[in-house]
Chain A
Amino acid sequence: MDFGPYLLLASLEGAVTAAVLALTAVGLSLVFGVMRVVNVAHGEFFMLGAVLAWWIASHIGGDPALGFIAALILAPLAVGALAALADMTILRRVNYDPERTIVATIGILYILQQVTLMTYGPEARPVEPPFNSRLALPWFEWGETGLQMYFPWGLSTTSYKLFVIAAAAAVLMGVWALMARTRIGLLMRATQLDRDMALAFGIPVERVYAMVFGLGGALAALGAVLIVPIQQAHYLMGGDPLLLSFIVVIIGGLGSLPGTVVAAILIGLSDGIISVFFSPTLAKILATLLVALVLVFRPEGLFGMKTR
């Protein structure tokens, strides 16, 4: 394949990765920013979203679009409720102590993963996309007769992949509006800035925490529902999103939403492009190397604020 079309294809593939990654990482970043909790179980909320999407879609039947839309609404709600419950019953009991929350979320990780294995099983199961048509993409080149348009071999995407990118962008705008424009967003930001002061002003910090943890889980689940018609639901699928989300959150700056989104696009696109031109392993190596460099030279992340 020629270089130009090749790069376009790589960027498109990267954009899909970036879109889902941004949703997942924003959830992780939100939880860390507001609650100072490093949620190791975040990838399992992602996995649970995909598995529930399969369960819902296969029980509704009929037109694939119907099942998918139901999954898109119900799966994040269910996972969000479960995450909020985990916060109230577990994280609150350990007083959000940093070390103990890490151990507690590792426990949650294994419980979710093994319960899924015991109930859903080890199979990978597909969810049918609501629509999916192949779109051949044109490419322009200067030829003997001026600018020519042609369709290079293999340069294509699908309508569903474009939908994933658009849907993720819309959800991210929604999260931004929620944080910046609503009262609950104000409460979350106040809690993030100074927990004790917020408590003194009568903000129900514990309820805010449960809500943030639920929202974080729901965002991961939403990312998974979007990706599951492309990939497949599998009980071990939470590992990669967790690692990449941590990479993104560290590079973007812990707790910074714009930073997280920018870093997700950076990592997603570079993952797409580097794995197309070189190898997927090299993409992972470079991303991890970038994390190390950020931690050494700019520990607060690219967009993070220096702690006072």
Chain B
Amino acid sequence: MTIKTPKSTGTTRRGALKTLAGGAAAATSLPLWARYAQAQTSEPIRVGFQMHRTGIGAAYGRWYGRTTEAAARIINEAGGINGRPLEIVAEDDGTDPKRGAEVVEKFATQLKCDIGYGTLFSHVVAGSAPRAGELKLPYFIVSEGHQLASGGLNRYTVQPGITDVKSQVKAMAPFVASTLGKKVTMIFPDYAFGHDHRDFFSEAIEAQGGEVVAKLAIPPTETSFTKYFPKIPRETEVIYHVMVGPAVLTFVKEMGEFFGPSRPEMFGFIDSLEAVDISSPGLEFLEGTYFWEGMPRYAQADQTPYDKFFREQVGVDANGASVADPKDVATYAHMFACWETLFVIKAGMEAAGYQSFKDRPALIEAVEAMTEMPQSNEHPQGAKLFNGKTHQVFGPQYISQVTDGKLVVKHTASIEDTLYPDETDYTTQSF
């Protein structure tokens, strides 16, 4: 009698498990590939949407999500891209750079996304973009940071929907110096985005004969602000403020309480009040102050049909709040950029004849070849000029004044006001 060794048996526990797992995987994926087995091209184009659903960017995440869904719906209703539907694959990054890199990795390897898209906060971009470059995943950021145009990122990262801080502040400085005053105190969040403001505005205001008399850096997670304000010098003529995070309302309110009746002139980036109702109690002191807006929150007297269309599709009323809930104020000055970026992706994929992952470099080249984008339903914020070398778009900027509790546009800076010399050329990098 021979004793059978376990090795010679046809079924081992490990083998059985392997078969089971394989079978399970096949069973779950069966409907998908069975559906598309006969026609590769009817498979959706998957856009990995890196979303700040939680963390300090949550308010932006909520509205970037709604804008993205609206744009994707319109693209799909019009027949999709190259005959294929667009599918948004949203993944929360917690507004955290480390998680951001993991999300990009997940898009490329697990979720089989064609591209990555939608990141706003500049520190998350800084954490994620290098990984996107390594994985050769086209990465469409919506961030405002100057790190891309300065040559700090890579050929796979492009920003075709929103202008960068350097061009924004370059266009603001002449207005601040000529209308409000020359001695400026800056208050900004203490990370990459805020540092862009600090560096480039200081430069731009000096070019106008002004000077920055104090720079107050505040951590974006801070919750109480009065303790920072005594550092504002008495000679300050203009407060330049830009703040982000969940405590922006506290920030602006405490600033009002600090100055009381004797406030200096104020120029803020609307970031300090994005997703916040301007008629909130404690914000009355903002009457008469000025804000930069990427796109005017309140429908203006000379509203374009494109702005009207955009508001309708995303579900925003004339006051920049949700149609469903007037207390739910949009991040209106930034979210148009998601919309415009998705339409650039569509145009780029169509120009490149995008079919599969192997066409990713062709997509980047197609976007690099873009230049002028006229104001339209696809570009409701205004006409744009794309710079293929620096991967950065340029566009108009708005300065609004708080008048009777509403933001009224007082000055529109043209594209020419925002241009600066190229600092890099990504087209010389290999794929």
Partner of A280, one of B222, B230, B246: B222
B347 within 8 A of A: no
Distance (whole angstroms) from the CB of A149 to the closest CB of chain B: 17
A293 at the interface (CB under 8 A from B): no
Q: Is B246 a contact of A232 with CB atoms below 8 Å? A: yes
Query: Besides the contacts A13-B226, A123-B59, what 15 more A-B pairs have beta carbons closer than 8 Å?
Result: A121-B58, A122-B53, A122-B61, A123-B62, A126-B250, A132-B282, A134-B257, A153-B262, A154-B229, A154-B232, A230-B250, A231-B223, A234-B247, A276-B227, A280-B222
Residues in chain B within 8 A of chain A (CB atoms): 53-55, 58-59, 61-62, 219, 222-224, 226-230, 232, 234, 246-247, 249-250, 257-260, 262, 275, 280-282
B247 touches A231 (CB 8 A): yes
Given the interface contacts A134-B257, A230-B224, A231-B224, does A122 sit within 8 Å of B54 by beta carbon? yes
Nearest CB on A from B426, distance (A) = 34
Most B CB atoms within 10 A — which of A1, A153, A236?
A: A153
Distance of A158 Cα from B258 Cα, bound (Å): 9
**Are B58 and A123 interface neighbours, CB within 8 A?**
yes
Instruction: Report whether B258 and A154 are in contact in the complex, using a CB–CB cutoff of 8 Å.
Output: yes
| CB pair A156 B258 closer than 8 Å | yes
Contacting residues, chain A, for B258 (C-beta < 8 A): 154, 156
Chain B CB within 8 A of A166 CB? no
**Smallest CB-CB separation from A281: which chain B residue?**
B219
Q: When A153-B262, A156-B258 are in contact, do A126 and B280 touch as well, CB less than 8 Å?
A: yes
A-B CB proximity, top 9 nearest: A124-B246, A122-B58, A1-B230, A122-B54, A276-B227, A231-B223, A234-B246, A275-B227, A13-B227
Question: Which of B61, B222, B247, B280 meets A124, CB within 8 Å?
Answer: B247
Q: Which residues of A10-58 have CB atoms within 8 Å of chain B's CB atoms?
A: 10, 13, 17
Question: Whole-angstrom distance from the CB of B256 to the nearest CB of chain A?
Answer: 8
B55 contacts which chain A residues (CB < 8 A)?
122, 236
Is A280 a contact of B227 with CB atoms below 8 Å? Answer: yes
Contacts of B53 in A (CB 8 A): 122
A230 to B250 alpha-carbon distance, docked (Å) = 7
CB distance from B221 to the nearest CB of A (A): 9
Give every chain B residue within 8 A of A123 (Cβ-Cβ).
58-59, 62, 246, 275
Residues of the B chain whose Cβ atoms lie less than 8 Å from the Cβ of A154: 229-230, 232, 258-260
Asked if A184 CB lies within 8 Å of chain B CBs, one says: no
> Chain B contacts of A9 at CB under 8 A?
226, 230
Asked whether any CB of chain B lies closer than 8 Å to the CB of A240, the reply is yes
- Partner pick for A232 among B226, B234, B247, B281, CB 8 A cutoff: B247
Chain A nearest Cβ from B57, distance in angstroms: 9
User: A136 at the A/B interface (Cβ < 8 Å)?
Assistant: yes
A236 to B58, CA, bound (A): 12
B241 to nearest A CB, angstroms?
A: 15
Residues of B contacting A230 in the complex (Cβ-Cβ under 8 angstroms): 224, 250
Complex alpha-carbon distance, A9 and B250, angstroms:
17
Q: Cβ of A80 < 8 Å from any Cβ of B?
A: no
